[in-house]
Chains A and B, each alone.
Chain A
Amino acid sequence: MKQKSIPMYAEHANTSGFWTQWKEEHESFFRDVRLSFYLFSRSPLSLIGMVLVGAFFLIALIGPWIVPYPEDATGAVHMSQKLTAPGSQFWFGTDEMGRDVFTRVILGTRVSLKIGLIIICAAMGIGVPLGITAGYVGGWVNETIMRITDIFLAIPGLILALAIIGALGPGITNSMIALSLVWWPGYVRLVQGKTLSLKEESFIEAALSVGAGRARIIFLHILPNCTSPIIVKASMDMGMSILAAAGLGFIGVGAQPPAPEWGAMISIARNYLPNWWWYALFPGLAIFVTVLGFNLLGDGFRDILDPQSRGYYRE
């Protein structure tokens, strides 16, 4: 509908050197980034998600340096101050061993981040290549990959994860392996579907007709166009995988006490409800806020990366 007014510094580009050239080459990219920020800023919920996730990452990064009682992360015992209510000394109160709940919740952030990132990266690492292969090659390869994926999707994820942990033994590493193994099928489905629809686009045909090989088509044409849905799904899944890992910690097959992991903390804290409510409340809140943050962020990403809504505001 509208023609972009194109700045006319092209004439002196040759004389004014590298910087102008660089700016000219990347102007469109920056305009796209600005549009993303604009769309993002139109949605308060996505902004809240962004802030929550930002805080989560920040706390995970600097946690060990800001906590008041770093030694409480592990097996320290201060029986004299056990189950103290929240106050100026212990913001979130203390647990049954007298450890500071605030310290443990903060340090739990890093554990959760590590769990989430590793699970999602592993799931993407398995799922994305399989999905692209299935979608692009098609035929029996597609059928084989997709039917195996269907089998995995047919079994409830947590049950399968429990079975895998049953075989490997409990622990934080094993629960990450188990969750990674049940998480990939979603990515296969997503990427395969996207690949199938991209394959029909005429720019793929155009690339073929100028002689592009298979690797070029997959890595330079299909994969970059799959990134948007993958990013959306990954940010939603971050929250879900942290929740799942906390769930495993809660039923006692994930992280083992005294490791400062939220699920494992709640697992013990529930024995002290309702009188010593702070012990369960704060780790629970941490899980809640984290999952909420990632979901809101994912929703926001979906809106800003949707080509239709981009086109809408661009025109």
Chain B
Amino acid sequence: MNTEPSILEVKDLKIHFDTFEGTAQVLDGCSFTLGRGDTLGLVGETGCGKSITAKAILGLLPVPPTRIVSGEIRFHSRDLLDLSEKDLEKIRGNQIAMIFQDPMTYLNPVFSIENQMIDVIRGHARHANKTVSRGAAREKAISLLNAVNIPNPRQRIGDFPHEFSGGMRQRVLIAMALAGDPEILIADEPTTALDVTIQAQILRLIGELVERFRHSVLLISHDLGVVAAVCRRIAVMYAGNIVELTTIERIFENPAHPYTRGLLRSIPNLARRKENLVGITGSIPDFIEPPRGCRFHPRCAHRMDVCQKVKPVLADIESEHRVACFLYESSWPSASRPEERIKPLP
């Protein structure tokens, strides 16, 4: 599907969450790949499992009550789920870095940006069995701040987090994520806490960085517009499943899954005069006793008998367009028998 070799491959990831009332099946067999220089957006509403996927990749999920039931996360042919905490630490930040939603909570308020960045840079060097002097680390920090367009980095590096505005703090956080020269950047709602004019600045910055450094980016957002501004490919998630995985052009021009269509019809478009928003009736399902078959079927206008019994699996309906929906059964490649694409329920 992607000509470049994939560096990250998530295969059939299933995550359960033990709660007071039972086991919530929050991620139900989620698979995707990320190639070098690829930009993939994970989109979905609250509780769809997009953040959990990102945290699972970095090994940041609290182990009880979370349980990784099955699946693998292959990074350069190593399964991240098998690694020890110590090995994960080497990968985190160095090879896979994360940008978070709220920059203030991820910067330590009592240390200056200079101290925090030098720590991060020297920490990365230590993991690579190298030593970097404080002076050299400081120079690198300044050049990183320069790369994320912070004005006067040499003067401002000694400042404390609270002396920066929200947008500037997010830039600092991006600079810190770049410090280890990572292959993959995972950005979890990086602009949700920011104003639109600042969001536009940050999105442009991320776009420029990706073009310059050829990072692979996994962007997690609830905002289709944000994903459209940065990513080439998009995965739409619903209730713990990826329901559609395709390119940005296709998702807007030819959305296939009924949920994707409903989502697109729910967003008021700024550029157009008033049209009727349709919305999606009902609400997200119970995760402890999820609907049998397709998890979207109780809200779906096109539901068929099979949807209530069998869980559809992501399958190609055209090149670079995978959908998990029985409406497209007829366009599944005839070479592979449909039975293989359909997973019977236990």
B47, closest chain A residue (CB)? A1
A312 with B24, Cβ < 8 A, contacts A1-B287, A3-B284, A5-B286 known: no
CB of A314 within 8 Å of the partner chain: yes
Interface of B is mostly: loop
B24/A3 in contact, CB under 8 A: no
Rounded to whole angstroms, the CA-CA distance of A3 and B46 in the bound complex is 12
CB of B330 within 8 Å of the partner chain: no
Contact of B19 among A3, A5, A34, A313 (CB under 8 A): A313
Inside 8 A of B288's CB, which chain A residues have their CB? 2
CB of B225 within 8 Å of the partner chain: no
CB of B152 within 8 Å of the partner chain: no
Inside 8 A of B285's CB, which chain A residues have their CB? 3
For chain A, residues 1 to 59, give those with C-beta under 8 angstroms from any C-beta of chain B: 1-3, 5, 34-35, 38-39
A3 with B283, Cβ < 8 A, contacts A312-B65, A313-B65 known: yes
Inside 8 A of B46's CB, which chain A residues have their CB? 1
Bitwise, A291-315 to B at CB < 8 A (1) or not (0) is 0000000000000000000001111
Inside 8 A of B65's CB, which chain A residues have their CB? 312-313
Task: Tell me the minimal C-beta distance from A259 to chain B in angstroms.
Answer: 47
Task: Tell me the minimal C-beta distance from A102 to chain B in angstroms.
Answer: 43
Task: Tell me the minimal C-beta distance from B252 to chain A in angstroms.
Answer: 28
A2 with B20, Cβ < 8 A, contacts A312-B65, A313-B65 known: no
Inside 8 A of B19's CB, which chain A residues have their CB? 313-315
The size class of the interface chain B forms with chain A is 10 to 19
Rounded to whole angstroms, the CA-CA distance of A312 and B21 in the bound complex is 12
B239, closest chain A residue (CB)? A1
Rounded to whole angstroms, the CA-CA distance of A313 and B47 in the bound complex is 15
Rounded to whole angstroms, the CA-CA distance of A35 and B22 in the bound complex is 12
Inside 8 A of A34's CB, which chain B residues have their CB? 20
Task: Tell me the minimal C-beta distance from A240 to chain B in angstroms.
Answer: 31
B24/A2 in contact, CB under 8 A: yes
Task: Tell me the minimal C-beta distance from A315 to chain B in angstroms.
Answer: 6
B48, closest chain A residue (CB)? A1
Rounded to whole angstroms, the CA-CA distance of A2 and B19 in the bound complex is 11
B286/A313 in contact, CB under 8 A: no
Rounded to whole angstroms, the CA-CA distance of A35 and B21 in the bound complex is 9
Inside 8 A of A314's CB, which chain B residues have their CB? 19-21
For chain B, residues 10 to 40, give those with C-beta under 8 angstroms from any C-beta of chain A: 17, 19-21, 24, 26
Inside 8 A of B283's CB, which chain A residues have their CB? 3
B284, closest chain A residue (CB)? A3
Rounded to whole angstroms, the CA-CA distance of A2 and B49 in the bound complex is 12
List 10 additional contacts besides A1-B47, A1-B287; criterion CB under 8 Å. Answer: A1-B284, A2-B24, A2-B286, A2-B287, A3-B283, A5-B286, A38-B20, A312-B65, A313-B19, A314-B21
Task: Please give the residue numbers on chain B whose beta carbons come within 8 Å of chain A beta carbons, in ascending order.
Answer: 17, 19-21, 24, 26, 46-47, 65, 283-289
What are some 27 contacts across the A-B interface (CB < 8 A)? A1-B24, A1-B46, A1-B47, A1-B284, A1-B287, A2-B24, A2-B286, A2-B287, A2-B288, A3-B283, A3-B284, A3-B285, A3-B286, A5-B286, A5-B289, A34-B20, A35-B20, A38-B20, A39-B20, A313-B19, A313-B20, A313-B65, A314-B19, A314-B20, A315-B17, A315-B19, A315-B24
